[in-house]
A and B are shown apart, each in its own frame.
Chain A
Amino acid sequence: MDWKALAGALFPRGHAITEEDNFLSGSAQAGEQTIAVVGTTGHAPIGVEIALAQARFVLETVREHPGRPILMLVDTQGQRLRHRDEMLGINSYMAHLGKCVELARRQGHKVIALVYDQALSGGFITSGLMADACYALPDATIRVMGLPAMARITKVPEERLVELAASNPVFAPGPENYLRMGGVQEIWSGDLTAQLQQALDASNGGDLRGVLGQARGGRKLAQRVIDAIVSGSDVLAP
């Protein structure tokens, strides 16, 4: 989905979001609230510049607009695959962005994310997956890699992966599967304005993705392993 059409649907009362080299930033009116909006478009490859630009915007929001909710709009093909980015330490830029988002959360900013187009691997970890809750549009593409590439690397025939993907969300791309595993809180369709408002109003109970993944049957062991270690047990809860 085009980001301008999306912004129109999310913010009928108006917005001041601008795009520069696939980097989105600005503010918008959500009901009575002004919110900060940051993100990417054009399936942006996340390199050191765009990660740092997002981090700068988050820090400015913390400094100049204490408590203002932050919406991250996600459309990325993943991290930029360049020798230069690795040489400059792209993992540090990604981590810095993640830490800035975490600081915002700790300073009382509600942070939500919306995957409105693509969310692939490294670009997703420090955007949507660092939010209090990540939402997705039904047509969004979310994945680590496609099944053909996965078949090559794991040496498992693609037909077998397709078959397994029907029952196990861990192998298959798509927002429905991320929903089942707890990585996506909810899939939005219909009245996006109302859903945004609900998300902004929702309480923030910490990282509940393990609990959600278990309740939705997409990740049956993660939360049980966490609970066993925390409780000092060597046996998983049934």
Chain B
Amino acid sequence: MSSYLELTARERIARLFDGDSFVEFLPPSARIVSPHLGQLDAPVSFDDGVIVGRALLAGEPVFAAAQEGGFMGGAVGEVHGAKLVGLLKRAVIEKIGAVVLLLETGGVRLHEANAGLIAVSEVMRAVLDARAAGVAVITLAGGSNGVFGGMGIVARCTNAIVMSEEGRLAMSGPEVIETAGGVEEFDSRDRALVWRTTGGKHRYLLGDCQAVVADSVEAFRQAAIDTVAAFRGQTTALSLQDLEQEQAMLGERIERFGAMSEPLDIWAALGVARPEAIPMLDAADFMAAVASHQLGGR
């Protein structure tokens, strides 16, 4: 078993997909870098922190993108965002069955603030365009930087999310909230609280992700294969009915849990027998223990 969390984006791509099947679009040899970082004397990367291309997944052609958390936290700038948009547009043109997004990101790259913000919204619309065209878009979230900021919104625009417990999914990072609201609002050094609040298990119980897997590249690969297969021949587009259901689920969430301040209380309210034991369970035991307690789904 090799940890997914500890791998680089390129290692994840190499091990998640079949053999040497990955073919990169606009690879580092094209030497396309951010036009803004140089002016700030910040380092650049020849892939601008994201790798995009085509691959085979259990023999099935898919498109894939992987964000590199080691370069500026996987944050989205002008080129980085455009690579994701280009990939999604090409997926539509080539009528590819699925796009698998290996997200690891702090959101908008503050060095390219305005361009990054627009880019994230372009990625959002490109994801939904792809879905409307019949392309299933799937998110894997298991990187050490989590999936934050505008990309946390993008992830929830995709058809499905697979997380490890260690992968986090949220909007504003704990440090940002602590800076704005004080340590009483969110103690970013309380790692257990951070994981209870933003980690895969909590997201699964609330219905924000579809599966929690172990932190291994094999587990993520199998989950990606299963999720892509589950969408074969299925509708991927938004529908009024699905969004009405989501509206009801999100409303129910506020009604039932809006007055709570501790994820453990939410898990108890969902009927989980021993909520305090949840953080200790491995992914398989967790899924078995809580399958009937998940809120709504999407």
Q: How far is the CB of A223 from chain B (nearest CB, A)?
A: 7
B14 within 8 A of A: no
Interface size on A, residues (CB 8 A): 79
Q: How far is the CB of A164 from chain B (nearest CB, A)?
A: 6
Q: Judge whether B79 and A145 touch: CB under 8 Å.
A: no
Q: Judge whether A230 and B90 touch: CB under 8 Å.
A: yes
Q: Which B residue sits closest to A79, measured CB to CB? A: B171
- Going nearest first, the 9 A-B pairs with the smallest beta carbon separation are A229-B86, A95-B156, A129-B121, A91-B152, A225-B82, A144-B113, A83-B186, A226-B86, A183-B118
Q: Which A residue sits closest to B262, measured CB to CB? A: A87
Q: Judge whether A96 and B246 touch: CB under 8 Å.
A: yes
Main secondary structure of the interface of A (DSSP, over half): helix
Complex alpha-carbon distance, A92 and B156, angstroms: 6
Q: How far is the CB of B55 from chain A (nearest CB, A)?
A: 15
* With A225-B32, A225-B86: A88-B261 Cβ-Cβ less than 8 Å: no
Please, what's the 1-or-0 string for B226-239, where 1 marks a CB less than 8 Å from any CB in chain A? 00000000000111
What are 7 A-to-B residue pairs whose CB atoms are below 8 Å? A83-B186, A84-B261, A91-B156, A130-B125, A183-B118, A229-B25, A230-B89
User: Which chain B positions have C-beta within 8 A of A130?
Assistant: 121, 124-125
Which residue among A63, A182, A219, A234 has the maximum number of chain B CB atoms within 10 Å of its CB?
Answer: A219
Please, what's the 1-or-0 string for B187-213, where 1 marks a CB less than 8 Å from any CB in chain A? 000000000011000110010100000
Complex alpha-carbon distance, A107 and B30, angstroms: 40
Q: Judge whether A234 and B29 touch: CB under 8 Å.
A: yes
Q: Judge whether B82 and A221 touch: CB under 8 Å.
A: yes
Q: Which B residue sits closest to A220, measured CB to CB? A: B35
Could you tell me which B residues sit within 8 Å of A by CB distance?
25-27, 29-30, 32, 35-36, 39-42, 52, 78-79, 81-83, 85-87, 89-90, 93, 108, 110-122, 124-126, 128-129, 132, 149-150, 152-157, 169-172, 174, 176-177, 180-181, 185-186, 197-198, 202-203, 206, 208, 237-240, 243-244, 246-247, 250-251, 253-254, 257-258, 260-261, 263, 266
Complex alpha-carbon distance, A14 and B20, angstroms: 64
Give which listed residue, A56, A86, A156, A168, contacts B197 with CB less than 8 A.
A86
Main secondary structure of the interface of B (DSSP, over half): helix
Q: How far is the CB of B112 from chain A (nearest CB, A)?
A: 5
Q: Which A residue sits closest to B251, measured CB to CB? A: A52
* With A87-B263, A121-B108: A82-B118 Cβ-Cβ less than 8 Å: no
A124 within 8 A of B: yes
A198 within 8 A of B: no
User: Which chain A positions have C-beta within 8 A of B39?
Assistant: 164, 168
Q: Judge whether B82 and A92 touch: CB under 8 Å.
A: no
Q: Judge whether A79 and B172 touch: CB under 8 Å.
A: yes
User: Which chain B positions have C-beta within 8 A of A200?
Assistant: none
Q: Which B residue sits closest to A53, measured CB to CB? A: B251
Give which listed residue, B81, B112, B150, contacts A122 with CB less than 8 A.
B150
Q: Judge whether B90 and A213 touch: CB under 8 Å.
A: no
Q: Judge whether A48 and B35 touch: CB under 8 Å.
A: no
User: Which chain B positions have C-beta within 8 A of A3?
Assistant: none
Give the contact stretch, choosing among A29-37, A98-106, A187-195: A98-106
User: Which chain B positions have C-beta within 8 A of A49?
Assistant: 254
Q: Judge whether A103 and B90 touch: CB under 8 Å.
A: no
User: Which chain A positions have C-beta within 8 A of B89?
Assistant: 226, 229-230
User: Which chain A positions have C-beta within 8 A of B118?
Assistant: 129, 178, 181-183, 209, 213, 219
Give the contact stretch, choosing among A4-12, A16-24, A67-75, A169-177: A169-177
Please provide the chain A residues from 111 to 135 with a CB less than 8 Å away from any CB of chain B in the complex. Answer: 121-122, 124-126, 129-130
Q: Judge whether A81 and B176 touch: CB under 8 Å.
A: yes
Q: Judge whether B78 and A221 touch: CB under 8 Å.
A: yes
A238 within 8 A of B: no
User: Which chain B positions have C-beta within 8 A of A222?
Assistant: 78-79, 81-82, 85, 115, 119, 122
Give which listed residue, B35, B120, B240, contacts A221 with CB less than 8 A.
B35
Complex alpha-carbon distance, A235 and B27, angstroms: 10
